Structure 1
Amino acid sequence: MAQAVMGAVLGVAGAVAAHAATFVYVSNADSQNISVFRVDESAGTLAAVETVPVGGTVMPMTLSPDHRRLYAGLRSQPYRVVSFAINPLDGRLAELGRAPLAESMAYLSTDATGRYLLSASYGGNQLAVNRIGENGVAGDVQQTIKTGPMAHAIRTSADNRYAFASVLGSDAWLRLRFDATTGQLTEDAAPAYALPEKSGPRHFVFSSDSRFVYLIDELDGKLHVLAFDRAHDTVKPIQTVSILPADFHGDKPWGADLHLTPDGQFLYTSERTSSTLGAYRVDRATGKLARIGTYATQKQPRGFNIDPSGRWLFAVGQLSTQMSVYRIDAKTGALEETGQVPVGKGANWVEVVRYTGSNE
């Protein structure tokens, strides 16, 4: 069955060049499904394609490097990763298989080769690696590594030599040597970067040229800019800014997510207590950030993402059943909300993929 589905997907792939399209995927934890939309790239409007039931509390998702597969993590028992083939013509998902996850995982990513699925467990205090088959289907867990409390994200560097992981409860950003041949991780004795106590590092992204790392805290309302030494895979801090609106009056900050535009000019963050998005201009030479503005968004915005053109931002809220669409001003980075579309309950994660002839 899975082989037939994959064959059908590959069979239509050659027609994509004549049908360039962008698709948005939203995981809805409480509805236990994934919403699929097609984007009108000129207007930013969304057309519903399908809603895919997954039979569990679906939260983190990630794409394969070739964007042919979508992996979705279930945080209800039994903990599983669901592998989907993406039809590049219409964006529809075809389930290819399910495999165990080591724990309830807050974050998923793949290494640069697409042969390994990396994950971080907030409740299980660990990182894990699953092998991915040649067919793009995630398989069994092959390694787990214990961390301090509340591991929250894991990603490899661009050259795939190291993986880095944020551990919220121990205020640490870890460096782990990664063997791309075997998929094995080896943790350094000391963190790559130690953050202030009770800062709660959560998500992070590398700049496209790998010269900088941007790391958002969950607990203190801060965003860190780190200079990244690509020769030695080490970092040093160069700036810390606030993600909070100027009129913040909440009991405590609650940082969530961050994303760079593909051209690296702008960075955006989400803050759940105030239900806002923060926008920043990036100095490409120094990596430093300058605040552009603050924008209201859906209630409790755990996740958002930016389309590959850098023109549109899509934001969801865990306490909302709508997704907001924003136009990104190419010159200023300012956001303009252009519409909303219905999503499921507990919407928390957004992935965006664009297919063109160059995807083949």
Structure 2
Amino acid sequence: MLRRPKSLLVASALLLALPAAAHVRLESPASRYGDAMKVGPCGLSGGLRTNRVTTVRPGQVVTVVFDEIIDHPGYFRIAFDPAGDAALGPPIWNGAAFLNPASVEVLVDHIANPSGLTHGEVPVTLPDIECDGCTLQLIQVMTDKPPFDGADDFYYQCADLRLSRPAPLGGPPPAPPPPTTAQSTTSGASAEDAMKQVFLLGSAIPFLFSLACGSSKPSSLAYVANNNASSVSVFRIDPGTGMLALLDTVITAPGGATYCEFHPSGKFLFVSGEFSNVLSAYSIDARGMPALIAGSTVPTRLNPHNLSLDPAGRFLYVANTSDNSVSGFRVAPNGSLTEMAGSPFASGITPYEIKVADSGKFAYTANRDSDDVSIYSVDANTGALTTIAKQSVGCKAAPCGPRAIEFAPSGAFAFVPNRFSNDVTVFSVNTTSGALTPIQGSPFAAGTDPRSAGADPSGRYLYVPNTTSGDVSAFSIDAKTGALAQIAGSPYPAGAGPLSIEIDESGRFVYVPNSGSNDVSVFRIDGATGRLATVGKVSTGASPFSIALR
């Protein structure tokens, strides 16, 4: 993909406030909810932390990466709260300027942007403290909507952080970037515009920077489980286009590579094998390649499919489709698995997916042939599941065939695609009790044979692969009610037999393994509309069932 020239700006505690563009999307560290929203401090009313936690060292320099997507004059501010996000209040207009409340720990203020849509990369030094529930906040301050009473002046983004003295579980932190530069890209900039003088506020000394090309964000990897080949194909993701490039294919334990899931640390990959009724654990080496952990292949019950871990990565669950049960395992520090006491746990009939809520307190199975969802409480000490209730999916014409369950990033809604009735049931979720309640208007029509669903990180869009019609239905999600509305252009063609879906944490790319055509469809999300644009397809091994990103 051809990238436009980039100009470099100086980053310091204060930057000259030039006219700027934005709504803003936080790309790195991982955004809590995705695209920017209007409710402080982090974008959603009553919003909670998610499992998208970035672990770094106290005092580390991190690069805050963001993209503007809609024009507004103004500037940006980066702030920090060591204990949640309650202290992250927005600036207050005093009649002449925006001033920060004394309670806010501001890391970088008045981050300027050239006119036009801008890509920003700002090095930020984090506080030299340890904290488990800390938050980094990016605010876009808009200066085009007086009287600046706070009602319509800000867009909010947050990243959930953990600051810990040991190296992060995924390995040592990346080398810090140069401490005084921030990078920005201006849409439509000429090569001459890309070489410009930028001034520190209050300084008459110009700094000239050379043209910057490419992206400083590290490439991520995609792992595709090839069920009929008993293998996992490892791909590098192009950070600009989202396209996949094959690095290697690794043979897994015999008996299928059905569904795969990463440990929250990124250190381990777990793969179910439906033909041999096993679950295997793999360590990830420095190149990103999986290697079977000795003694880690453990028996499940009949026909294991989807996997889910609790947010802390202590417990792993697999749905046993032909045993009407869920097997539960304790995860050791080295990634090895031990079946927990009381496992397997009874489910409804033909459970295809198990999903642990982001709170870690509840788990849910989609039971295809009893047309319901089993709701469990999760014992915080042992991981044991206790059935609370079963909730009918309530499709318009039985059989329904609930095949999967997906949660909105806020946890407020659950989406269940029904493969036999060709629709999606939407529930509101009581995050205190775990209870599910169908919303008004549910279910909502999808394509033919929907078997999975993925919500983008912003919680604004839902994507549903339809296995028999070979396409992907795209919906907008009503933020208040959870109701679904088909997006213009939906459904979007995929390959043959699309079975599952994965959306990257930036909310820019969608990956759909096609089990019938032995490939993965790659799409780009239009952040403003939710529409999908096909990037391309890449070949895999035989019958790719699932994909995991790292």
Common fold by TM > 0.5:
yes
Cα distance in 2, alignment partners of residues 221 and 174 from structure 1: 21
The code of the aligned residue for 2:274 comes to R
The equivalent residue for 1:34 is 232
Distance 2:431 2:242 in 1: 36
Give the count of matched residue pairs: 334
Measured at CA, do residues 176 and 346 of structure 1 come closer, stay the same or move farther in structure 2, by a change above 3 Å? same
Q: How many Å separate the matches in 2 of 1:141 and 1:76?
A: 23
Contact 2:300 2:320 in 1 (8 A): no
Match of 1:335 in 2: 532
Q: CA deviation at 1:322?
A: 2.0
Alignment equivalent of 2:451, drawn from 256, 273, 283: 256
Match of 1:174 in 2: 374
The whole-number CA distance in structure 2 between the counterparts of 1:324 and 1:191 is 35
Once the two structures are TM-superposed, the CA of residue 266 in structure 1 deviates from its matched residue by 1.1
Residues 211-246 of structure 1, C-alpha deviations (whole Å, 9 max, x = no match): 1111111111010111111222212111321112xx
Superposed displacement of residue 106, structure 1? 1.6
Q: 2:407 aligns with which of 192, 206, 210?
A: 206
2:351 is aligned to 151
TM-score, length of structure 2 as denominator length: 0.58
Kept in 2: contact 1:100–1:141 (CA 8 A): no
Match of 1:113 among 305, 308, 312: 312
**How far is 1:183 from its partner?**
1.4
Structure 1 residue 176: Cα displacement: 1.3
Alignment match, 1:270: 465
Structure 1: runs of 5 or more not aligned: 1-8, 245-252, 354-360
Instruction: Give the structure with the larger strand fraction.
Output: 1
Q: Is the alpha carbon distance of 1:11 and 1:129 closer, same or farther for their aligned partners in structure 2, counting shifts above 3 Å?
A: closer
Whether 1:235 aligns to 2:429 is: no
Q: Percent of counterpart pairs with the same letter?
A: 25
Matches within 5 A, 1:126-165: 126-140=325-339, 142=341, 143-165=343-365
Q: Deviations over 1:33-57 (max 9, x none)?
A: 1111011111222221110101321
Q: Which runs of 5 or more residues in structure 2 are unaligned? A: 1-166, 177-216
Return the alpha-carbon distance in structure 2 between the equivalents of residues 224 and 259 of structure 1: 14
Residue 336 to residue 129, structure 1, CA distance change in 2 (3 Å)? same
Query: Which residue, out of 305, 308, 318, partners 2:502?
Result: 305
Residue 47 of structure 1 is aligned with which of 226, 235, 245?
Answer: 245
Who is 2:484 aligned against?
289
**Cα root mean square deviation, aligned:** 2.0
Q: What SS is found at the alignment partner of 2:261?
A: strand
CA distance 1:17–1:90, change in 2 (3 Å): farther
Higher RCO (CA 8 Å, separation ≥ 6 residues): 1
The equivalent residue for 2:418 is: 217
User: What SS does structure 2 have at the residue aligned with 1:153?
Assistant: strand
Distance 1:91 1:46 in 2: 14
Amino acid at match of 1:154: I
Q: 1:107 & 1:45 partners in 2: Cα distance?
A: 25
* 8 A Cα contact 1:84 1:93, kept in partner: yes
Give TM-score, length-normalised by structure 1: 0.87
Per the alignment, residue 14 of structure 1 pairs with 172
Give the letter for the 1:231 counterpart.
T
- Give the SS at the match of 1:201: coil
